[in-house]
Chain A
Amino acid sequence: MFWQALLLQAGYNATLVTVGAALLGVAAGAVGSVMVLRKRALVADAMAHATLPGVAMAFMVMVWLGGDGRSLAGLMAGAALSAGCGLLTVDWITRKSRLAEDAAIGAVLSVFFGAGIVGLTVIQTMQGGRQAGLEGFLLGATAGMLWADALVIAGGGAVAVALVWLLRRPLLLVAFDPGFAETVGISPRRADLILMALVMAVTVIGLKVVGLILVVALLIIPAVAARFWTDRAGAMVWIAGAIGGAASYLGAVISTLAPALPTGPIIVLLAAGVFLVSLLFAPARGAVPAALRHRRVRALRQAAP
């Protein structure tokens, strides 16, 4: 069963879900690299948590309009809307007050998430709300995903990957040296806006696969792991994409075998495993090779005189 799932032979639907997850992982790794290099890692966490009230609201609106409320595209639209509000609120707090960005991030994260929880309890009391299954958005649930939902995820992931590829040069230039970027005619503000839009896209696409609590991990961990293997930003983006893609692919496969487990934590732990290996053993920046080099230098120095 594992091998069938791994080799994409566990059925049409499972295959699409797995491919979708992998594309999402590649997009998250690539977008996450730029984000980490631009030092925006935790803003993404605030945005991810801020999706919850949007999801709840979208569900209620769709039910109110007579729909079934579980349409993934509709929920994603709501999530994007409230994530955008969360981002604007972080910006508003840091602009209007003396509070540092980390305080604004923490405030938005907890307050929006709290509002989302209030929304979920409202939905639970609605007719048919108990079967809404919105809890799957907290920690991800790929098992038994609908064909249409998987299609949305795969398509969204592919578009995000394409956009990173298209815009990698200005985005990385702004991440390295915003002052220089401005002198060659790239607006850092606009580049940051595009970056945050991409982060939002990955977050929203990742809701169903990784869940909103852990989607930030899929953005950060592959990027940080990739940094150990290369000194080139362009390479880092795609190494991170490969790590994120592999972890998500494998995570989705494992999830088809153990449908009771939430998918998000599985994917995150797989990525964390890659991170740990990179931290310890990557040739250029890993801890073990560095310690070995250090010892060799010392031995040489002692042998010299």
Chain B
Amino acid sequence: MTVALSVRGLTVAYAQNPAITAVDADFAAGAMTAIIGPNGAGKSTLLRAVLGLVPRRAGEVAIFGAPLARVRGRIAYVPQRASVDWDFPTRVTDVVQMGLYRQLGLLGRVHRRHRALAEDCLARVGMADYATRQIGQLSGGQQQRVFLARALAQEADLYLLDEPFAGVDAATETAIIGVLKGLRDAGRTVVAVHHDLATVAGYFDRVLLMNGRAIAQGPVATAFTPDALQATYGGRLALAPTAGQGVA
């Protein structure tokens, strides 16, 4: 398999307490991988460390074989819930156009093709009708979709998403998974922190199970096993699911 993102010995600590320790993981290019583990397992921290948003104590991260600084333009990130000022004077379409920052730079004019791209990205997440709304006027799920559209506008090769389905309604979840599968089918790499064990097999190709350190990884069929889940969640998982039809 071709590796899009490779993590070696990655350790991150917040105020002396290690959040993740010596994580080794490879994420296959052109596949959808779920990062799974209990609360506090360091799943979000792993993504944030890959993006350089938290300082790493030790370890190496290679993205398409290169360090982060050289491939920033090929990565897009959707946080769990954007911590932005929802009253900020910006419309939905302006938020999506922010995804074009690296293309536009300081002074590049916003041309018609840029606007068209933003509108297309909004349409892909089913939000075309809301383009001129102020961002705070949307519901939580709609806002989440807009931030996904912003990531689409970045036209990245590697998409990192932190619990894209947390707190969204069923319609939004269906819309988002459709978009992500579309990305994969177009050859992009998708990595998402995921919580719902029941949908892992239906949504993803591969998994990384972790709890402070990496526990198991590989295709869903071989790595998403009751034993691995038991090792990840400890005694907290009363009902161990069988591969392919997980029960949370």
Touching chains A and B, CB distance < 8 Å? yes
A246 within 8 Å of B by Cβ?
Answer: no
| A115–B113 CA distance with the chains assembled, in angstroms | 57
Nearest A-chain residue to B132, judged by Cβ: A231
- With A169-B101, A180-B82 known to touch, is A37 a contact of B75 (CB < 8 Å)? no
A179 touches B89 (CB 8 A): no
B106 touches A176 (CB 8 A): no
A184 touches B90 (CB 8 A): no
B91 within 8 Å of A by Cβ?
Answer: yes
| A176–B99 CA distance with the chains assembled, in angstroms | 13
A291 within 8 Å of B by Cβ?
Answer: no
B101 touches A177 (CB 8 A): no
Interface size on B, residues (CB 8 A): 29
Which residues of A lie under 8 Å from residue B76 when comparing CB positions? 183
Which of B83, B95, B101, B107 meets A184, CB within 8 Å?
A: B101
Chain A 238-256 against B: per-residue CB contact (8 Å), 1 yes, 0 no?
Answer: 0000000000000000000
B94 touches A232 (CB 8 A): yes
Q: Which residues in window 186-245 of A have CB below 8 A to B?
A: 186, 227, 230-236
A179 touches B91 (CB 8 A): no
A185 touches B102 (CB 8 A): yes
- With A184-B72, A231-B90, A233-B94 known to touch, is A176 a contact of B107 (CB < 8 Å)? no
User: Min CB distance, B56 to chain A, in Å?
Assistant: 15
B101 touches A236 (CB 8 A): no
Which residues of A lie under 8 Å from residue B128 when comparing CB positions? none
B107 touches A166 (CB 8 A): yes
Which residue numbers of B lie inside 8 Å of A, CB to CB? 51-53, 72-73, 75-77, 79, 82-85, 88-91, 94-95, 98, 101-102, 104-107, 134, 150, 154
Which residue numbers of A lie inside 8 Å of B, CB to CB? 37, 39, 166-167, 169-170, 173, 175-177, 179-180, 182-186, 227, 230-236
